[in-house]
Amino acid sequence: MESGPSAVTLKAVAGRVGRTHANLLHHFGSAEALHTALITRMAADIVGTIGAAVLRVRAGELDPREVVEMTFDAFGKGGAGALASWMILSGNTNALDPILTAIHDLVDELAEGDMPGDQPIQEQTLTLVLMALGDALMGAPMARALGLPVGKARELALDALLASKDAAAPARC
């Protein structure tokens, strides 16, 4: 993934892991199947890490900023944003099913711990994921074009997450 999603070919991966192209072709069947396996693995890792972090935030053991940072890093540095975008643009949208399913399952699990009055976790997730994806694709150039610091989208995502919690809190006099 260091060279971008288009570099993730059966031949390149075979060379990287010390196998033959034929061996990987036999195992995966196609480059699309390799990409699906890659995104399935990425989804499990990302969702597992972020899910555990959300539980730690709810327990008061972790700053919500860390969940935002992990999400943005997964889509940016981790390559999930580039891979997802490449899948969509190449017409292989079915390859996104593993990550969409993993996120859906995590959200269902976390929704059980939602407090009454909180913004639904589905809405929080949609906001955070779309902001992280957008930032991964063009966040730095857009921020520079607008004269904003490169990390501004992360700050805005955190503000939105905290605002969704503050709005649910009872008014204090």
Query: pLDDT (tens digit, 9 = 90+) per residue, 77-107?
Result: 888 888 888 888 888 788 788 889 999 999 9
Instruction: Tell me what pLDDT residue 137 has.
Output: 94
The domain ranges of the chain are: 31-168
Q: For 113-134, what is each residue's pLDDT tens digit?
A: 776 667 889 999 999 999 999 9
Total Cβ atoms within 10 A of residue 15: 13
For the entire predicted model, the pTM comes to 0.79
Mean pLDDT across the stretch 158-166? 85
Instruction: Tell me what pLDDT residue 170 has.
Output: 44
Decide which of 114 and 163 is more confident: 163
Per mean pLDDT, which range of 26-35, 89-98, 155-164 is the poorest? 26-35
CA–CA gap between residue 161 and residue 114 (Å, rounded): 14
Q: Which two tokens stand for residue 149?
A: 């610091």
CA–CA gap between residue 116 and residue 111 (Å, rounded): 11
Sign of the four-CA dihedral 33, 36, 42, 43? negative
Mean pLDDT across the stretch 129-157? 96
